[in-house]
Amino acid sequence: MWIDTHCHLDAPEFAPDVDDVVARARAAGVHAMVLPAVAAAHFGTVRALAHRHGLAYALGLHPLFVDQAEEEDLDRLDQALAQARDDPRLVAVGEIGLDHFVPGLDRARQQRFYEAQLRLARRHGLPVLLHVRRSADALLAGLGRHPVCGGIAHAWNGSDAQAGRFVARGLALGFGGAMTFERALNIRRQAAQLPAESLVLETDAPDIPPWWLYRTAAQRAAAATDQGPSTAGPALASSGHGRNEPAQLPRIAASLAALRGWTLEETARQTGANACRVLPRLGALV
């Protein structure tokens, strides 16, 4: 059984066919999925999706959305975590973190929301799902001030030293579609060499497609021109434009297996055990 530790099934890309997306994932052997929220308005949606499909979820305020967030959203998050205290499907606070890649964002506001959410994770005894984008050192500094009980550094793409510091703090590192690109030399080297206990798998669906789904902007435009209006249905139409989904996880995992010299069974067993260790509530669901 595979575990997708990070997929956004509440994204608008999945609105037309989310039930089919879950069914395809299950048919592919992906029976556990973690759905992180990105804004307060999404809390109810991810919770409802998790309960409807027997999945797990996390609640948090994503750094790319904090510029539009209200100050009261931190109170809303605190209340939502308290209300879901006994909900076994709530497994983490996330997606939270810092994004130092996208220009024009208010870094000071990101930092304030990030550290406030670390404090909430500590208060509610939950691990975290961290957005790490050219921000690893700043995230680690925050964890030093506000230690939490583990979690996952999502979409890992940092240095060896940074990886070691996250792992030392009880976090695993999320590897997904980016690992499948042959030119992703650092990610692939780390996937091959980092301690086996530090690795978990994810899709970040609908984002970060693996190489076989990736389309450049020029390719998408050409396909739209050649094909005209799609009659293939939402799933095929979207995947033609690179939509990622949890059903892709086993093929992504095959890249990790090849890099490590593992069988697929070993890969599923190791990464699944790692996910359940860093997200303890998840273990009761699988």
Q: Which residues are annotated as a binding site for a divalent metal cation?
A: 6, 8, 95, 131, 154, 204
Side-by-side strand order, sheet with 30-36? 2-4, 30-36, 56-59, 90-99, 128-133, 151-154, 171-175, 199-201
Of 25, 120, 109, nearest to 81 by C-alpha is 120
For residues 134 and 146, give the distance between their C-alpha atoms in angstroms, rounded to a whole number: 20
For the annotated binding site, the residues are 6, 8, 95, 131, 154, 204
Token pair belonging to 30: 């992906």
- Are the C-beta atoms of residues 93 and 128 closer than 8 Å to each other? yes
- Are the C-beta atoms of residues 132 and 153 closer than 8 Å to each other? yes
- Are the C-beta atoms of residues 58 and 95 closer than 8 Å to each other? yes
For residues 95 and 76, give the distance between their C-alpha atoms in angstroms, rounded to a whole number: 15
For residues 204 and 80, give the distance between their C-alpha atoms in angstroms, rounded to a whole number: 23
Alpha-helical regions (H) of the chain: 18-27, 43-53, 72-83, 107-124, 136-145, 160-168, 185-193, 217-227, 234-240, 249-260, 264-278, 280-283
- Are the C-beta atoms of residues 4 and 13 closer than 8 Å to each other? no
User: Residue 128's Cα: distance from chain center in Å?
Assistant: 11
Question: CA 84, 129, 29: angle at the middle one, nearest 5?
Answer: 85
Q: Is 181 helix (H, G, I), strand (E, B) or coil?
A: coil
